[in-house]
Amino acid sequence: MYEDRTYEALVKRALARVPPSLDKREGSMVFNGVAPSMAELAQLYIEADFIFKATYLLTAPREYLIKRASDRNMAPYPASAAVFRAEFNIEVPAGTRFSCEDLNFVVTARMEPEDDTPTGLSHRVTCETAGNAANHYTGQLIPVEYVDGLTHAELVELLIPGDDEEETEVFRQRVLDSFQSQAFGGNQADYKEKVLAIPGVSAVKVHPVWNEDLRPTSLIPNEEVAAWYKAVAATLEPAVAAWLGAVYLGC
């Protein structure tokens, strides 16, 4: 917006206001008196240009995009840790730590017996480093501290992929989309927002099928239904009549 407000352009504009009878050459008293203030003014234009960019969702850098999005109670999805199935020859207590290559893993729970295999007892382990770095890891686990009786420890299967923190442009688009469809009350936008917040979920597509091809207008009672309701309502028990009335009037 202020690309033309350079130091050189500002000095030239300032000197143009000085009478031509005075010495305005570089190094003169007039030039030396004008130049420092124009340098500061050029810096102010640079900062003003950044403020304009940081103000709008389309151009805001990540830090300021997050601040703007907080007005809509939105924030980037945080990084999540990968969860694996690991096999041990013995039951390992939760909290026991292992390493695999350059990452550490911690046992979080003993899995169901039906998840066991001939090669070992299944446990759920979580990478201590959040993000997708561990998603491709498998192989031998090395205990960080001695575990009595442990002879076999292996990282076998990825259960829940780890995700990095939501990328800036993906988050920016999600914020912009929130202006098109407000998430509330279990609508499609609300469903997408909650499902995408689940660790390991990177995409979701909603297929509304509760009413299939039923048109809302077909739920409006016609004359035959109205006549039936009036005839039958008077013959019902009070509680049943109250329920039927609520259904009928709700339509």
Which tens digit of pLDDT belongs to each residue from 73-117?
889 989 999 999 999 999 999 999 999 988 999 999 999 999 999
Strands 83-88 and 153-160: antiparallel
pTM > 0.75: no
Q: Which residues make beta-bridge pairs with 86?
A: 123, 155
User: How many other C-beta atoms can be found within 10 angstroms of the C-beta atom of residue 34?
Assistant: 20
* Residue 145 near residue 103, CB atoms below 8 Å: no
Residue listed under structure tokens 């893993």: 105
List, in sequence order, every residue forming a beta bridge with 88; answer none if it has no partner: 121, 153
What are the CB-based long-range contacts (under 8 Å, 24+) for 30-36? 35/11
Phi, psi at 210, each rounded to 5°: -60, -35
Residue 208 binned pLDDT confidence (cut-offs 50, 70, 90): low
- Which two structure tokens, joined as six digits, stand for 224? 């035959």
